[in-house]
């Protein structure tokens, strides 16, 4: 039976198609596969330890298929699905997010066989020997590109893991910055690879906090080499660079940091477009316009709403045939400003096409935000054009943008 979309949302040029409350388990990261003409959405949870699976073949009436419990006292918030496998990140929970100090926790990532889409079977477990993994990249085949902790280094680094034998995954390459070495003077900045490492041919694009947007040559997997580093040190907010997403057909990349502190208690967050036609000298071309509240909301700005306000996650095609892959529209979550959709046909002048701001929740689940407001987290767009939006304290909203033109690959 179809569930009603919670009332009180604001929308412009975006239609609400469907909703599922995930049985009271709010979503974080999302992944998808198409199997035998059915569409399955895989959901990593923020406040619960494990993963859910929805059949979204009919987006207006998503069906809950299964819940896969994860290890206790562990963040299970990151997933990738490709080639009949699910890579499920395992990470130490950050302070204030529901973890219990001194209690056992898992780390690294699990490998699941999801060739039977609703019956995941664990077939492997890779461990970092440190704090676990955050946002990994897996597009099929034998290599997982991990944002992983490593003994003796601060923050997360890039580690490539061969899962050809899932029962015995092994590291085959890594990259870190000098500022991450023990005893290094980071000058109060945060050098940590957030992930994912977007892979395009022999290049990896890394979002590296105050290390900026990094391009690596990974033609020799055992010895990745730095090609360029586009840094925004001292300009970006608390997190530093969160996303560095290449649009290879246009020789562009989308880049943004992440809002971390509530009520705007940090530098202004940035989201924009980078020219990577000269990969040794990438340069920022433009910034996305700052979201404005809907006129009917009576807000002067989104900072008044409380919670986080700023960019977070872009839709990532991840080389998956089931996902939309176009480079003239950008889908970006913006925490309390919901989902924003941008026309980026003119890389020098991106324009907002539409938005969807979920209704504020009425029931608290988890410890954040401090005031109960909507906080949109991740976005995924399937090949059919349906948009899946997750939230800290909501289920899954399924949406569809209107006034979008047919894609033309130049």
Residues 141-177: pLDDT tens digits?
Answer: 999 999 999 999 999 999 999 999 999 999 999 999 9
Specify the residue for token string 């989902």: 339
Cα–Cα separations (whole angstroms), residue 304 to 7, 172, 205, 293, 310: 21, 48, 35, 10, 13
What's the number of CA atoms in the CB half-sphere (13 Å) around residue 198? 24
CB 84: neighbour CB atoms within 10 A?
14
Average pLDDT, integer, range 100-122:
96
Mean pLDDT over residues 45-49, rounded? 96
pLDDT of residue 9: 98
* pLDDT surpassing 90 at residue 26: yes
Q: Are 55 and 63 contacting, i.e. CB atoms less than 8 angstroms apart?
A: yes
Name beta bridge partners: 80: 87
Q: Confidence band (pLDDT; 50, 70, 90) for 275?
A: very high
pLDDT of residue 231: 83
pLDDT at 1 over 90: no
> What number is the average pLDDT over the span 378-392?
98
Task: State whether the Cα torsion 131-134-140-145 is positive or negative.
Answer: negative
Q: Quick check: 233 pLDDT over 70?
A: no
What is the structure's pLDDT at 237? 65
Calculate the average pLDDT of the chain: 96
pLDDT of residue 65: 98
Do 80 and 138 contact (CB within 8 A), yes or no? yes
The CA–CA distances, whole Å, from 246 to 71, 311, 350, 362 equal: 33, 17, 16, 38
pTM comes to 0.98
Q: Is it the case that residue 5 has pLDDT exceeding 90?
A: yes
Model confidence pLDDT, tens digit, residues 316-369: 999 999 999 999 999 999 999 999 999 999 999 999 999 999 999 999 999 999
**Total residues belonging to the chain:** 410
For the chain, helix, strand, coil in percent to 5 are 5, 40, 55
Confidence of residue 234 (pLDDT cuts 50, 70, 90): low
When pLDDT is averaged across residues 118-140 and rounded to a whole number, the result is 98
Closest C-alpha among 242, 215, 200, 234 to residue 335 = 242
pLDDT of residue 97: 93
Q: Region 202-208: what's the mean pLDDT?
A: 98
pLDDT band at residue 409, thresholds of 50, 70 and 90? confident
| Ramachandran bin of 254, using left for φ above 0, alpha for ψ from -120 to 50, beta for the remaining angles | beta
- The reported pLDDT for the residue numbered 4 is 96
When pLDDT is averaged across residues 108-113 and rounded to a whole number, the result is: 98
DSSP per-residue letters across 182-219: TT---TT------S--EEETTEEEEE-BTT-EEEEE-S
State the pLDDT at residue 232: 74
155 Cβ neighbours under 8 A, 6+ residues apart: 149, 180, 190, 191, 192, 193, 209
* Predicted local confidence at residue 370, as pLDDT: 94
Topology of the domain comprising 10-401: Methylamine Dehydrogenase; Chain H (2.130.10)
| pLDDT, mean of residues 173-197 | 94
């Amino acid at each position: 039976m179809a569930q009603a979309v919670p009332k009180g949302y604001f929308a412009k040029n975006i239609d609400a198609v469907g909703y599922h409350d995930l049985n009271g388990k709010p979503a974080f990261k999302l992944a998808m596969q198409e199997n035998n003409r059915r569409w399955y959405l895989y959901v990593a949870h923020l406040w619960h330890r494990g993963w859910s699976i929805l059949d979204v073949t009919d987006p207006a009436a998503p069906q809950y298929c299964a819940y896969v419990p994860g290890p206790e006292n562990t963040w299970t918030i990151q997933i990738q699905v490709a080639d009949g496998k699910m890579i499920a990140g395992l990470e130490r929970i950050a302070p204030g997010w529901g973890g219990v100090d001194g209690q056992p926790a898992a780390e690294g990532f699990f490998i699941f066989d999801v060739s039977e889409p609703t019956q995941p079977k664990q077939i492997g477990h890779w461990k970092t020997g440190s704090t676990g993994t955050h946002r990994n990249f897996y597009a099929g085949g034998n290599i997982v590109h991990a944002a992983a902790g490593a003994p003796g280094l601060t923050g997360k680094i890039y580690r490539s893991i061969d899962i050809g034998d899932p029962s015995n995954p092994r590291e085959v390459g890594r990259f870190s910055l000098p500022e991450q070495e023990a005893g290094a003077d980071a000058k109060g900045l945060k050098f940590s690879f957030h992930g994912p490492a977007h892979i395009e041919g022999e290049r990896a694009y890394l979002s590296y906090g105050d290390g900026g947007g990094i391009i690596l040559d990974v033609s020799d997997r055992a010895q990745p080499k730095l090609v360029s580093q586009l840094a925004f040190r001292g300009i970006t907010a608390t997190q530093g660079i969160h996303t560095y997403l290449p649009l290879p057909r246009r020789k562009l990349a989308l880049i943004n940091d992440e809002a971390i502190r509530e009520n705007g208690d940090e530098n202004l967050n940035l989201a924009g477009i980078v020219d990577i036609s000269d990969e040794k000298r990438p340069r920022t071309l433009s910034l996305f316009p700052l979201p404005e509240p809907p006129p009917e909301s009576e807000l002067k700005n989104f900072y008044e709403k409380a919670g986080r306000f700023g960019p977070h996650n872009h839709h990532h095609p991840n080389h998956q045939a089931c996902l939309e892959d176009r480079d003239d529209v950008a889908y970006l979550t913006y925490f309390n400003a919901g989902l924003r959709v941008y026309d980026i046909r003119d890389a020098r002048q991106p324009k907002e096409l539409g938005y969807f701001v979920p209704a504020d929740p009425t029931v608290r689940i988890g410890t954040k935000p401090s005031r109960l407001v909507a906080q949109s987290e991740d976005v995924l767009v399937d090949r059919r054009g349906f948009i899946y939006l997750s939230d800290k304290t909501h289920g899954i909203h399924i949406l569809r943008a209107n006034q979008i033109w047919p894609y033309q690959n130049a």
